[in-house]
Structure 1
Amino acid sequence: MAKIKSAKKRIKIAEKNRLLNREYKFIVKKLIKNYLNAIQEYREKKIQYLKNLQLENFDNVHAQDFNNNNLQEFKNIESKLSNTFSQIDKAVKKGVFHSNTAARKKSLLVKKLKNEQL
């Protein structure tokens, strides 16, 4: 245990920051997981729709038709992406994540969304 007053204070501050960082990381992980689950559900509905049409390959015309029919669900996914981005940016602002780490996380999330739009 530290004997100097400033060292004791630094220990308290470090513990407080550790707990705050843990909370921000947990929130970001939870949002990312919810976003990826929403994409997975969307993908499963899309596959089921195409199976019902008795198609073996993804045809762009039918995929586009599916996207038009489920526009509300797609907007819901986009809003989840927006919330996730917001929380990641807040974590960067607080110093929880490095800016490059945040950029990498956001890039991977957008990449997943773009793959579903095809």
Structure 2
Amino acid sequence: MANIKSAEKRIEITKRNRLQNRFYKSSVRTLIKVFLKHLEIYKTSKNLDDKEKLKKILNSVYSLIDKGTKKNVFHKNTAARKKAQLAGYLKAVQI
């Protein structure tokens, strides 16, 4: 247990940041799973509505990744890698 006031404050800040980081990371993981699920649906159907839905989901994943990067939840290279992988999955299906 911290005895110094600044150490107690750092503990509180660390707790807050950990919860915030967990929210962003779990949300991104969940949205990526949703994207991959809809990608499989689009592979089989090749429906225009599914394609539009897929692009909307991809944009929301990109947005959440960028917001997490801005708040230092993700390293910028990690964010770029995740986004590139998702774009590659979509491109492979569209060809």
* TM-score bracket, shorter-length normalisation: over 0.9
Query: Which of structure 1's runs of 4+ aligned residues deviate more than 2 A?
Result: none
Aligned ranges 1:44-63 → 2 under 5 Å:
44-45=44-45
Preserved contact between residue 39 and residue 90 of structure 2 (Cα < 8 Å): yes
Deviations 1:6-55 (A, max 9, x none): 0011011101100110011111111111001000111233xxxxxxxxxx
CA deviation after TM superposition for structure 1 residue 75, in Å: 1.1
| Identical pairs, percent | 48
Contact (CA 8 Å) 2:35, 2:57: kept in 1 or not? yes
Measured on the aligned residues, the alpha-carbon RMSD in Å equals 0.9
Q: Which has the higher contact order (CA 8 A, sep 6+)?
A: 1
What is the Cα deviation at residue 72 of structure 1? 1.8
Is residue 2:49 matched to residue 1:72?
yes
Q: Which amino acid aligns with 1:76?
A: K
In 1, distance between residues paired with 2:9 and 2:2? 9
Which consecutive unaligned segments of at least 5 residues does structure 2 have? none
Correspondence for 2:36? 36
The structure with the largest alpha-carbon Rg is 1
